[in-house]
Amino acid sequence: MDVPLKKPAPQDAESAEPARRPDRAEAEAAVRTLIAWAGDNPDREGLRDTPKRVTAVFEDFYSGYRDDPTGLLRRTFEDLGSYDDIVVVRDIPFYSHCEHHMVPFVGKAHVAYYPGESVVGLSKLARVVDAYARRLQTQERLTGQIVATIDATLKPRGIAVMIEAEHQCMTLRGAHKHGASTVTTQFTGVFRDDPAEQQRFISLVRSGRSD
């Protein structure tokens, strides 16, 4: 009797072997190919330097691949005094790119945690958001990566993250629903276990807003 072959398990993108990184000349050649495929002449004057500009912009757009988000949180401070309440950094602006269409999604992240034995510099939380946002992403994965990194490094009593973003794959193409926003949240520890703490976090994020 024939034994059916098992399908290989899907490989996790985070653990998969990275593909060989093309050099700059190869990247510029790829941009030239896309310009030609779009229907224009990459050799005309206005487009002649576009491949160089696009590869330079890509280095900025996807600089998160060169960052170590965990390393950003390694320096902590243990002198909390008598403080044992919530720490919230709200309205952290970010831009990212949808991994399905490579078009932008732009929004704000709100990050909160209940300190354990230490706290971290507030700017470092914003830099963790950027380190993950400046990659090819989904909003759901971005939310989870921020939470997982803070949890593994700071080991707080609880974490709350909310991300609000407008996806241009919905506004510029497809459904063309301008103004539609997507909200994702993830909670751990006291935020996950106590709905009142979730509501407190959301109230702190929304306070002072007119919308």
Indicate which residues carry an active-site annotation.
Answer: 98-101, 139, 167, 169
DSSP string, 47-61: GTTHHHHHHHHHHHH
Q: Torsion angle, CA of 29/31/37/43, rounded to 10 degrees?
A: -70
Is the CB of residue 51 less than 8 Å from the CB of residue 31?
Answer: yes
Q: Is the dihedral of CA 28, 31, 37, 42 positive or negative?
A: negative
Give the relative orientation of helices 50-61 and 24-38 as an angle to the nearest 10 degrees: 110
91 sits in the region (left: phi over 0; alpha: psi -120 to 50; else beta) called left
Cα–Cα distance, 138 to 183 (Å, whole number) = 12
Q: What contacts 51, CB < 8 A, 6 or more positions away?
A: 27, 28, 29, 31, 32, 35, 42
Residue 186, strand partner residues: 161
